[in-house]
Amino acid sequence: MKINRIQLNNFRNYKNSIIDFSDGINFIVGRNAQGKTNLLESIYLSSVGKSPKSCREKQIIMFNENQSKIELSFSTLAGNKNIKFFLDRTNKKSIKVNNINILKLTEFVGILSVVYFSPDELKLIKEVPEDRRNFLDISISQFDRTYLYNLLRYDKILKQRNSILKSTDSVESKIEQLDLFTPQLIECAQIIIEKRLNFIEKLKNIATNIHKFITIDENLDISYSYINTSGLSIKADLQKEFDKVKLKEIDLGYTCVGPHRDDLIFKINGMDCKYYSSQGQQRTVALVVKLSLMEVIKNEIGEYPILLLDDVLSELDQNRQDRLIELISKYQTLITCTKIPETKIKYNIIKVENGSII
Ligand X SMILES: Nc1ncnc2c1ncn2[C@@H]1O[C@H](COP(=O)(O)OP(=O)(O)OP(=O)(O)O)[C@@H](O)[C@H]1O
Is 200 a residue that touches ligand X (CB under 6 A)? no
Provide the β-strand partners of residue 94.
86
Residues in the chain: 358
Site for Mg ion in 5-44 (CB under 5 A): 36-37
CA distances from 14 to 36, 112, 218, 255, 271 (A): 10, 22, 42, 45, 45
Candidates 18, 33, 128, 252: give the one binding ligand X (CB under 6 A).
33
Is 62 a residue that touches ligand X (CB under 6 A)? yes
Could you tell which of ligand X, Mg ion, none binds residue 281, using a CB distance below 5 to 8 A set by kind?
none
State how beta strands 93-97 and 79-88 pair: antiparallel
User: Least distance to ligand X from the beta carbon of 307, Å?
Assistant: 17
List of residues 6+ apart from 64 with CB closer than 8 A: none
Candidates 1, 17, 29, 35: give the one binding ligand X (CB under 6 A).
35
Is 12 a residue that touches ligand X (CB under 6 A)? yes
Candidates 7, 38, 281, 332: give the one binding ligand X (CB under 6 A).
38
Could you tell which of Mg ion, ligand X, none binds residue 38, using a CB distance below 5 to 8 A set by kind?
ligand X
User: Least distance to Mg ion from the beta carbon of 311, Å?
Assistant: 6
Q: Which stretch binds ligand X (CB under 6 A): 36-44, 160-168, 279-287, 322-330?
A: 36-44
Is 36 a residue that touches ligand X (CB under 6 A)? yes
Q: Say if residues 149 and 341 touch (Cβ distance below 8 Å).
A: no
Q: Give the nearer residue to Mg ion in terms of CB position, either 34 or 47.
A: 34
Instruction: Supply angle C-alpha 116, 117, 122, rounded to 5.
Output: 135
- How far apart CA 335 and CA 333 sit, in angstroms, is 6
Nearest to 95 by CA among 106, 53, 116: 106
Is 8 a residue that touches ligand X (CB under 6 A)? no
What are the φ/ψ torsions at residue 69 (nearest 5 degrees)?
-135, 140
Residues of the shown chain interacting with Mg ion in the complex, contacts defined by CB under 5 A: 36-37
Residues of the shown chain interacting with ligand X in the complex, contacts defined by CB under 6 A: 12-13, 30, 32-38, 59, 61-63, 311, 338
